């Protein structure tokens, strides 16, 4: 794995080589405080002092202080209580600093910060409106504005890819549930990019609600209420295990896919802010942390009885 040189202070430590997100994936050159592609001649500047390497559309997510606060807590909980123990289990005694991680759709970036604070070499990308948070992070140079369909990194740059509920939102038109024409091709682009930048033998941790489960706790029609969204298991918005396996080409590009237990993944921060939420989360906690995490019920995780998929994909 090669390391990119320092680009005008944009990278304080060796990191993944930056390439243009155009089809040629040419290495970028610094020209007049911009990054320029010698192949397509596109030029990229900065937003909030982070390189803006977005090709194509941005994700017009909602700006909401309460949502950002929940993202902060949830991302840190996820990294500390689920991802780091999983990586220790998968990589044994390997030095965390030898593992390079990319979080696709990192949002406010607290998951990336927690991983960096734990000694991993972690990076984050997002195509939404969160870059203002990144300057406050440890290693602020490890965040980039980028589109998941056109990743600005060299092939085989990362040991681990994390993608939390990003693929369902590709090809649906901003923050909605309605798939647009060509959505499948757009998702194939993103899945192909994940495969491209993950080294052989690396891992992808991919999560989202399960299309086969008719109850979606995570995309509510009214964000102010905790009433779940009911939907057809045939809808095009969400994906199933088989959908992910097909997109990521398990059996050819990737070697295997495993549905992991849910225990420890969720911190339930949003529903813990009021009494009714704390009461309602009791059966949900049991269902997620116990029933969907027991070894004897592991076969249920790929079925409609499991509302949330955590997939471990081996490249």
What are the domain boundaries of the chain?
Answer: 54-314
* pLDDT for 174: 61
β-bridge pairing 100-104 and 158-164: parallel
DSSP string for 167-211: GGGTTS-SSSS-PPTTHHHHHHHHHHHHHHHEEEEEEEEEEEEBT
How far is it, in rounded angstroms, from Cα 110 to Cα 120?
A: 14
β-bridge mates for residue 31, sequence order: 34
* pLDDT for 63: 64
Which DSSP letter does residue 219 get? S
β-bridge mates for residue 100, sequence order: 121
- Asked if residue 12 lies in contact with residue 123, where contact means CB atoms within 8 angstroms, the answer is no
* pLDDT for 149: 96
Q: In the β-sheet with 34-36, what is the strand arrangement from edge to edge?
A: 29-31, 34-36, 43-44
Q: In sequence order, what E strands does the chain have?
A: 29-31, 34-36, 43-44, 46-47, 50-51, 100-104, 121-126, 143-145, 158-164, 198-209, 215-216, 229-230, 256-259, 308-314
| Closest CA relative to residue 170, chosen from 155, 180, 156, 161 | 180
β-bridge mates for residue 314, sequence order: 203, 256
How far is it, in rounded angstroms, from Cα 113 to Cα 297?
A: 34
Could you read off the pLDDT tens digit of each residue along the chain, which spans 315 residues? 334 434 433 443 457 889 999 999 999 999 988 999 999 999 999 999 999 999 988 877 666 666 667 788 889 999 999 999 999 999 988 899 999 999 999 999 999 999 999 999 999 999 988 888 999 898 999 999 999 999 999 999 999 999 999 999 998 866 678 888 899 999 999 999 999 999 999 999 999 999 999 988 887 666 556 678 888 999 999 999 999 999 999 999 999 999 999 999 987 756 656 676 677 778 888 888 899 999 999 999 999 999 999 999 999
**Structure tokens that stand for 195 in this block:** 């495969």
How far is it, in rounded angstroms, from Cα 199 to Cα 201?
A: 6
* pLDDT for 175: 62
| Closest CA relative to residue 79, chosen from 54, 114, 53, 108 | 114
Q: Which CATH class is domain 54-314?
A: alpha beta
Burial class (CB in 10 A: 0-12, 13-18, 19+), 5: exposed
**Structure tokens that stand for 81 in this block:** 């209580």
**Structure tokens that stand for 277 in this block:** 């939420």
* pLDDT for 70: 76
- Asked if residue 260 lies in contact with residue 308, where contact means CB atoms within 8 angstroms, the answer is no
Burial class (CB in 10 A: 0-12, 13-18, 19+), 248: buried
- Cβ-count burial 85-99 (b if 16+ within 10 Å, e if not): ebbeeeeeeeebeeb
pTM of the model: 0.90
């Amino acid at each position: 794995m090669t390391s990119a040189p320092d680009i005008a202070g944009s990278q304080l430590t060796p990191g993944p080589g930056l390439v243009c997100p155009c089809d040629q994936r040419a290495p970028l050159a610094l020209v007049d405080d911009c990054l320029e592609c010698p192949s397509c001649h596109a030029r990229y500047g900065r937003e909030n002092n982070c390189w803006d390497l977005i090709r194509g559309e941005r994700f017009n997510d909602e700006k909401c202080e309460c949502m950002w606060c929940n993202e902060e807590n949830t991302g840190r909980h996820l990294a500390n209580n689920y991802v780091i123990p999983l990586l220790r289990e998968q990589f044994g005694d390997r030095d965390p600093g030898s593992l390079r991680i990319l979080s696709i759709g990192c949002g406010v970036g607290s998951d990336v910060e927690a991983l960096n604070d734990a000694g991993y070499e972690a990076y984050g990308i997002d195509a939404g409106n969160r870059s203002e948070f990144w300057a406050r992070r440890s290693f602020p140079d490890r965040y980039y504005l980028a589109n998941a369909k056109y990743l600005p990194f060299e092939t085989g740059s990362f040991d681990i890819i994390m993608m939390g509920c990003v693929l369902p939102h590709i090809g649906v038109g901003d923050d909605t549930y309605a798939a647009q024409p060509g959505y499948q091709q757009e998702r194939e682009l993103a899945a192909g990019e994940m495969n491209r930048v993950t080294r052989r033998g690396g891992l992808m941790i991919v999560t989202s609600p399960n299309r086969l489960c008719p109850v979606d706790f995570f995309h509510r029609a009214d964000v102010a209420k905790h009433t779940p969204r009911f939907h057809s298991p045939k809808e095009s918005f969400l994906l199933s295990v088989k959908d992910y396996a097909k997109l990521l080409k398990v059996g050819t590009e990737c070697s295997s896919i495993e549905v992991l237990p849910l225990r420890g993944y969720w911190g339930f921060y949003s529903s813990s802010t009021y009494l009714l939420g704390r009461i309602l989360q009791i059966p949900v906690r049991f269902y997620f942390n116990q029933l969907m995490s027991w070894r004897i019920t592991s076969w249920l995780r790929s079925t409609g009885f499991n509302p949330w998929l955590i997939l471990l994909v081996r490249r």
